[in-house]
A = this chain, B = another copy of it.
């Protein structure tokens, strides 16, 4: 009686992935320090290392064992992970309608003129590509 292993990275795993995406690679100690500073975590170094080992098992991170303090890297790109999570959210909460999500994101956020122009341009391109 249990729940199937979740497909999406968990909250803490994402915090670590964010760090790795930004810096490219990092040692356990660096990750731990950044978690404490940026995310204001108050967990021990031991916990960070354990999380990394779990993520290694799950295939979320890769590890360079030749480097003296081992260096961890994200196994999947941020874009790839984002796409997966986005699709999942659309399925789970938006009844499969990506457009409904887009509209809500647009309406509930203040965008700069530049951003809006960029989006409009993209929409126009997509429109042009259609028969």
Interface residues of A in 27-86 (CB under 8 A from B): 78-79, 81-83, 85-86
A124–B120 touching, CB < 8 Å:
yes
What is the count of identical protomers in the complex? 2
Interface residue total, chain A, C-beta cutoff 8 A: 43
Docked complex Cα distance between A89 and B109 (Å): 14
B105–A86 touching, CB < 8 Å:
yes
Docked complex Cα distance between A6 and B14 (Å): 14
Docked complex Cα distance between A92 and B124 (Å): 29
B86–A82 touching, CB < 8 Å:
no
Which residue, of A6, A118, A120, has the highest number of chain B Cβ atoms within 10 A?
Answer: A120
B106–A119 touching, CB < 8 Å:
yes
